[in-house]
Amino acid sequence: MNRLKLILILILAGVLLAGCVIKPTEVQTTAQPIVPAVQPTKAPETVTLNGAGATFPYPLISKWSSEYNKMKPNVQINYQSVGSGAGIKQITARTVDFGASDAPLTEQEYANISSILQIPESIGAVVVAYNLPGVQSGVKLSGDVIADIFMGKITKWNDPRIVSLNPDIQFPEKEIIVAHRSDGSGTTFVFTDYLSAASPDWKSKVGKGKSVNWPAGLGGKGNEGVSGLLSQNPYAIGYIELAYAKLQNISYAYVRNKAGKFIEPTLESTASAAAGAVPTLPAGDASWSQVSIVDAPGDNSYPIGSFTYFLVYKDQIDQAKGKILAEFLWWAVHDGQKYSTDLLYVPLPAEVISLNEKTIKLMNYNGQPLIQDK
């Protein structure tokens, strides 16, 4: 009797121990999707779509999630804003149904995932924000000047190159304090993408990426970290998302575009940049690594912006779920766009929506398209 007990305990201990030993080595990604093990048995069956990725589109995706759930109560969309990098890792490992990224997949990432589709879902703009006592939004800056400020080559506000762009503003002879993001971020990617396009010097010495080797300045964590630096340090300059700058009432610069005009960052001027870039966009299942809407052509195009993308598999492995996913994506790029403006996201231009239609129609289960012509 007692011996039996002992054996049982040992077996139990062994099983637990084995569990302990195996689990930590398996678990690579910290954030596992929450898949309800027991689904409610009422009809129609609830389907949960899990997504993970960029933090930038999180407010928009969660709005979509709640609106879509009102329309179709049996569809639940969970989105974890764990960062673009983690989103790419999770979709690669197929632990989520869709990923989201602020930057297109690099050649290497694209090569690692078979049959991935990249679907622009919204557009974000990055503003060059500053804290200049007595000066409101509207300081005019050009790409090469911004690049040299962030490289630490232009160190004073009354530098002749800044003054010559803004003859009507009286600049103080003060040191410029450069603030940048310290955490890896899509915002940094967009901003450095722009600086690389605008300044050959930046391109060769620093380059573009979600984190770069900043030649100058202080790093703040998140948009709030950078805006904290700006609000606390007079004469500071930094870059933040357009929505964040508008909501926090932070002054920002008008930036010279390809056509030589100084453009205020707005939803319209960013949309115009996206529309200008449409002719160069690839098919949804091709590599988008070269896609960029920075420094886009067009008189009214604001030059620092980027698409933010959904990442989904072209070949879905679950027919029912794949169909629901395709329908959701279709809705998000059409009707869903009307929620963008209120949340200070840039709605997709018609040209991008029609490209997305083609892309979503590529989604299939065993060769059968999941969504028919609408």
Partner 1 sequence: MDSSKFSFSRIGRSKLSGDLIFEVVVGFFALGIIVLAFLLFRELFVGSSLSRDTFGTGFLATSTWDPVNEVFGALPFIFGTLVSSFLALIIAVPFSIGIAVYLSELAPEKLKYPLSFTIELLAAVPSVIIGLWGIFILAPFIRDYLAPPLSTYLGFLPLFQGPMYGLSMLTGGVILAIMIIPITSSISREVIMTVPTHQREAALALGATGWETTRIAVLPYARSGIFGAVILGFGRAIGETMAVTMVIGNSPRISESLFSPSYTMASVIANEFVEATSNLYISSLVEIGLLLLLISVIINIIARVLVWRLLKVEGGGRV
Could you list the residues that contact partner 1 (CB under 8 A)? 2-3, 5-6, 9-10, 13-14, 16-17, 20-21, 24-25, 82-86, 88-89, 106, 108-109, 175, 177, 182-186, 206-214, 217-221, 225, 228-229, 232-233, 236
State in angstroms the smallest separation of the CB of 228 from partner 1: 5
Contact 169, 139 (CB under 8 A): yes
Kindly tell me which of 116 and 370 has the beta carbon lying closer to partner 1.
116
State in angstroms the smallest separation of the CB of 272 from partner 1: 29
State in angstroms the smallest separation of the CB of 270 from partner 1: 22
Q: At what angle do helices 350-361 and 267-277 cross, to 10 degrees?
A: 60
Q: At what angle do helices 186-198 and 143-150 cross, to 10 degrees?
A: 120
State in angstroms the smallest separation of the CB of 3 from partner 1: 7
Kindly tell me which of 130 and 302 has the beta carbon lying closer to partner 1.
130
Cα(first)–Cα(last) distance of the chain, in Å? 70
Kindly tell me which of 177 and 312 has the beta carbon lying closer to partner 1.
177
Q: Retrieve residue 156's tokens.
A: 């004073």
State in angstroms the smallest separation of the CB of 65 from partner 1: 21
Question: Is the Cα torsion angle 144, 147, 151, 155 positive or negative in sign?
Answer: positive
State in angstroms the smallest separation of the CB of 210 from partner 1: 4
Kindly tell me which of 74 and 233 has the beta carbon lying closer to partner 1.
233
| Cα pseudo-dihedral 322, 325, 331, 336, rounded to 10 | -170
DSSP secondary structure, 292-332, as one string: --TT-SSTT--SSEEEEEEEEESB-S-HHHHHHHHHHHHHH
CA distance 215 to 60: 34
Q: How far is CA 302 from CA 193, 253, 255, 309, in A?
A: 14, 11, 7, 20
Q: Retrieve residue 54's tokens.
A: 């960029």
Kindly tell me which of 110 and 331 has the beta carbon lying closer to partner 1.
110
Kindly tell me which of 88 and 127 has the beta carbon lying closer to partner 1.
88
